[in-house]
Amino acid sequence: MGCGETGNRIESALFDLMRDSSSQLMLSLQPSQPISPTADNQTDMPRYNLLQTMATGETLVWQNEVKKIP
């Protein structure tokens, strides 16, 4: 199963960027967001940003997201 033409191009570009480069990683917890304006002390899932700074200067930003199960 493939990712389609666009997905394959993106995956190839990321692979080329990371293949021969070292990188620094920095993980940060982002502020929680309220589930709704009327929710009492409830927040959604923890949000993280992972910054991957390549030796060549490019920075990739990785963010987690909720996995939606049908």
Domain extents in the chain: 22-32+44-70
DSSP state of 20: T
Q: Looking at the chain, list the stretches that DSSP marks H as alpha helix, in order from N- to C-terminal side.
A: 4-19
List the chain pLDDT tens, one digit each, 70 residues. Answer: 567 888 889 889 888 888 878 889 999 988 876 655 655 555 567 888 899 998 888 898 988 877 778 7
Q: CA-to-CA distance for 19 and 64, rounded, in angstroms?
A: 23
42 touches 35 (CB < 8 A):
yes
